[in-house]
Structure formats: C-alpha cells, structure tokens
Structure 1
Amino acid sequence: MTPWSFVSPASRGIGFALARRILQTTKAPLVATARKDLASTRIKLLEGLDVDDNRLTMLELDVLDETSIANAAAACKEKFATPSQQLQLAFVVPGILYPEKSPAQINADDALLTFRTNTVGPMLIIKHFSPFLAKKRSELGGSEESQGLPPISTMAVMSARVGSISDNRLGGWYSYRASKAAVNQLVKTFDNHLKTASGDRAISIGLHPGTVRTEFSKEFWGGVKKEKLFEKEWVAERLVEVVRNVGVQGRGKCWDWDGKEVLP
C-alpha cells in the first residue's frame, strides 16, 4: 500500500499548520489545496522544512465551487492511478463564522454562506474524494511511506464544540453552531457508509481544535483564558496524534485536541 494525504484548505490557519506537520512527520505524498496564490502558498508551506518538495502537490479548490472540487479530485485520480495508492489521511477544514449574539442579528445570506462553507463544502469534498479511501480488500499499512500516518484510512472533518447540542449552555452563534452540528451528522452518516464500503479499513471522524490563535478567532481572543488559547502548530501536532490513535472504536464521533469525545 502506498498512502497519500490531503489537506483542504491549507493556505492559512489550522490547515496550513496541519499540512506542514504532515510534511515534517511523514514521508508520504501530500495534496494541499488553496483557492488562489498556489505558488506562494507552496513556498510558505515548504519554508524552513528539510523535506523532499516533490512530495507536495498544490491544487486549486474552492469549497463553494463544486466544479473546482471535482477538478481537484480528477487531478488526484490521475496522479494516484493505481489501487494501492490510497488516501490514508484527509483533513477537511474550511470554516467561516458570523457570531450572531441574538436572533435579530441573523442574516439569511450570511447564514447560507456559513452552511455552504462549513457543511456543504465538506459534504462535496466527501462526495468527490471518498473513492480514494481504503476499501474492504485494501492492503494495510506497513510501507515506509505509511510511517506517521493513521493505520486506518481516515477522513477528518473540522467540527467545533459549539456544534454540540448537549453542551450548548450559552446560546448565540446561531448559524455557526447549526452548521457544525450538521457537520457532526455528516461525519456520522458518512461513517455509516464507510462501514459498508470499507469495513474497518476506513473511518470518518469530526475534530474540535479548541480556540486557536489564528485570524479566524482573533476577535474572540480576549474572552479566552491564556492557557486555553492555543498556537496553531501545537494544535496541528495534537490533532494529527488524535487521528493516529482514535481507532475504529472512535469512528463516527467528534474528538477534541486532547483525544476526548465531544458528545453530540
């Protein structure tokens, strides 16, 4: 089995840190995506890393444009043409947030964009990239390229603790909370499909990264305790470790950066 990895998008924030972490800790090929500026993103991803830059393939992908997702999948199908070249690790991490504090602040266009980005985008990536995951008869890992990757072919989609209905004690953030709750349902539904299509060879999980020091969360840093505001490189390290260790028993669930389950 010759594995490869996938991070979308990888142009900034957690996705950028995850792509660099995978390049640093594995020897497998990595496909990273961005909406624009692919050449400059590639340079930044490789900057300071002592790795074979031929491992990194940059592809254009916009989660709001299914054609671009289909085109990226077609490019991967051409690049990884043999059955033994399977997608072993995928991080799907698009995100947008409009922090509505009251119902009066809900805007239909913003809410729709939130769902298109946070939920429908990952759904379409699953649609076009799920065929690359391991099948029931796929080989298990063991090659040099498999080192550092999860033993089970894994599609990890970025969720959030605020997507948990049982954990919702504060309210607010209507569209973001709802979109992430929908991500958890998406992960579970897709994992049920994988049970049939792949058995124990492939799983789907959700991830909660905590509050990370990125542009995405910048306006909320003031309300977070210092010890709970994480650097993206540290979070990337933790999330890769969680995915490597969650195992088939953890399939279909959402896991936080500390390897603890986030209940629905």
Structure 2
Amino acid sequence: MNTHAPLAIIAGFSSTIGRAMTQQLLDRGWTVLGFSRRPVDLHHDNLLQIAIDFTDEASIEMAAGFARDAIASRKQTPDLILETAGILHSEDVKPEKALRDMNMDAFLKVFQINTFGPALIMKHFLPLLPRQKKAVFAALSARVGSISDNQLGGWYAYRASKAALNMLIRNAAIETGRRNKNAVIVGLHPGTVDSPLSKPFQGAVPEGKLFTADYSADRLLSVLETLTPQDSGELFAWDGERISP
C-alpha cells in the first residue's frame, strides 16, 4: 500500500455508493481501508478490506482498533472517514405508507443499520481524526430525514432513522469541535441513486434525477472538498445544497 497517498476509511463500502466512492478515491491515488460485512469483488494495491458487523459494537471496536494500528504503522492519519451503510427495505422490511403498517421488528432493524450502527462508528472512529489538519467524517443520510422538508409523510422508520442520524451528527460535531477545531463532521444526501435500495421506487423519480452511483460519488466527493470546520454538523446534498433539519 502507498504510504504517501492520502488515506480514507470507508465503513460500509460494499454498498452501491460506498463502492463507487471507494473506486473513485482509488482512481485518484488514495489509499482506502474498506470495512464491510461481506467481501467485495474489488481489488487494488491501495485497498485493504476488513470485515465488520455494524450490529455488533465489539466488531466495530475491533475494526477501529485495526484502523488505529494501520494508521500507526503507516505513520499517517486519515483525511476522510465515510460511513455508507444503510437500509430502506428488505425481504421483511417495507417502507410504511400509513401508521397501520408500522411494526417493532422493522423499526428495530432500520434503526440498527441507519442510526445505531453509524452512532457506534462515530464513537469508535471519530477519535482517529487528526487535530493538526482538516479531516472529514461524513455519513450517508437522506433529504427525507429533514423534518422541515417533509411534505409527503410515510416511510416512518426510514425518515425517523435518518432524522435521528442527523441529530447524532450535529451532537458529534459539537462535542468533537471542542477539542478538534479542524474536524468536519457532516451528513450527505446522495440524491436518488440507481441501486437496490431505490429500485422499487424509481418509477416515481423525475426524469434526470436518477443518478448513477459514479455520478453521485463524484459529486459528493467534490462537495466534501469544499467544506470547512464551520460547516460541521450540517447535512449537504450531492449538489452542495445545505439541507435544513
């Protein structure tokens, strides 16, 4: 692995957007530590894949320890930490259209992946951010997690899990900013990306608003380049728009 290249840590890099962001960073000459629950068919001299279970704090803590050891051996701190795991639906989870559709098992599963997992990633990985230079932690959130932007209702668990994630990001930014003035901690809205997550709902997407993963990844990375510590705690869309909570 190239010890002189900028270093990124990506948790959940097996997701569609996570993989696209990993590939783009590798293409730009970065070194990537990629954490995921399952192996990814992506091979590169500057990519190191590590297993992680986002539902198990011991696994997350172990992964952070691995990253810490890798950082120490390289004598290089990360420039970017990304959290890109997420769930909207699965075989046993469907976005709710009405109150009567809600159930506890689905809520727990959605929150476990979209909220609790990222919270524990922040707990164990944010201390890896350097203090002597700008470094970014970003988690994939969603515009539908904005309370003020919600005009349609529905999708109770998903909306609530992302709204909670946005609050966690704000909290972490405030706390981290007290001791690390160079940290940038933000949420990212990738737009509607052509992926298994969006597949059942693509029919309602306006023309020109269904993005490829590569396009979304490129735009998100461009947005991250422009952010400063003054932007910490906010949610930004793929086009740089600041989204209200």
Same topology, TM > 0.5: yes
Is 2:193 aligned against 1:212?
yes
Instruction: Decide whether the 8 Å contact of 2:36 with 2:52 is kept in 1.
Output: yes
Specify the alignment match of 1:45 in structure 2: 42
Q: CA deviation at 1:10?
A: 1.2
**Once the two structures are superposed, what CA deviation does each residue of 1:112-160 show, in whole Å capped at 9, x if it has no partner?**
111111011001011111111012xx2x4xxxxxxxxxxx200001110
For residue 54 of structure 1, give the secondary structure of its aligned residue in structure 2: coil
Q: Structure 2 counterpart of 1:121, which letter?
A: G
Cα displacement (A) at 1:84: 5.0
Check the 8 A contact 2:71/2:77 in 1, yes or no: yes
SS in 2 for 1:10: coil
Task: Name the structure 2 match of 1:133.
Answer: 129
Q: Which amino acid in the other structure matches residue 36 of structure 2?
A: A
Aligned counterpart in structure 2 of residue 105 of structure 1, from 98, 101, 104: 101
Contact 2:15 2:85 in 1 (8 A): no
In the other structure, the counterpart of 1:119 is 115
Aligned pairs for 1:140-159 within 5 A: 140=133, 152-159=134-141
Conserved? CA contact 1:246–1:259, under 8 Å: no
Structure 1 counterpart of 2:54, from 49, 57, 63: 63
SS in 2 for 1:81: helix
- Equivalent of 1:182, from 154, 164, 167? 164
Q: What per-residue deviation string (whole Å, max 9, x for no partner) do you get for residues 38-81 of structure 1?
A: 2xx1xx323xxxxxx33111000121111211111111111111
The counterpart of 2:64, out of the listed 69, 73, 90, is: 73
Unaligned runs of 5+ in 2: 89-93
- AA paired with 1:132? L
Q: Deviations over 1:8-47 (max 9, x none)?
A: 211131111111011111x3321111212x2xx1xx323x
State the one-letter code of the partner of 2:34. A
Check conservation: 2:78, 2:129, Cα contact below 8 A. Answer: yes
Q: Calculate percent identity across the aligned residue pairs.
A: 38
Mapped contact 2:143–2:189 kept (Cα < 8 A):
yes
Cα RMSD of the aligned pairs, angstroms, is 1.6
Alpha-carbon separation, structure 2, partners of 1:132 and 1:4: 12
Q: How many residues align?
A: 237
Aligned to 1:147: none
Deviates more, 1:247-256 or 1:214-223: 247-256
After TM superposition, give the deviation of residue 196 of structure 1 in Å. 1.0
Whose relative contact order is higher, 1 or 2, with alpha carbons under 8 Å and at least 6 apart?
Answer: 1
Partner of 2:144: 162
Structure 1 runs of 4+ aligned residues shifted over 3 Å read none
After TM superposition, list the pairs within 5 Å mapping 1:184-263 onto structure 2: 184-199=166-181, 201-263=182-244
Letter in 1 for 2:135: S
Question: What's the counterpart of residue 76 of structure 2?
Answer: 85
Deviations 1:240-259 (A, max 9, x none): 01111122232110000000
Partners of 1:68 and 1:91 lie apart in 2 by 17
Question: Unpaired runs of 5+ in structure 1?
Answer: 47-52, 141-151
Q: Which residue of 2 aligns with 1:146?
A: none
CA distance in 2, matches of 1:203, 1:58: 25
Which residue number corresponds to residue 31 of structure 2? 29
The secondary structure found in structure 2 opposite 1:32 is strand
Query: Mean Cα displacement is larger for which, 81-90 or 118-127?
Result: 81-90
Deviates more, 1:75-84 or 1:170-179: 75-84
Please give the per-residue CA displacement for 1:176-217, whole angstroms capped at 9, x wherever unaligned. 000000111011111011211211x11100000111000111
Give the conservation status (yes or no) of the 8 Å contact 2:184–2:227: no
- Normalised TM-score (structure 1): 0.86
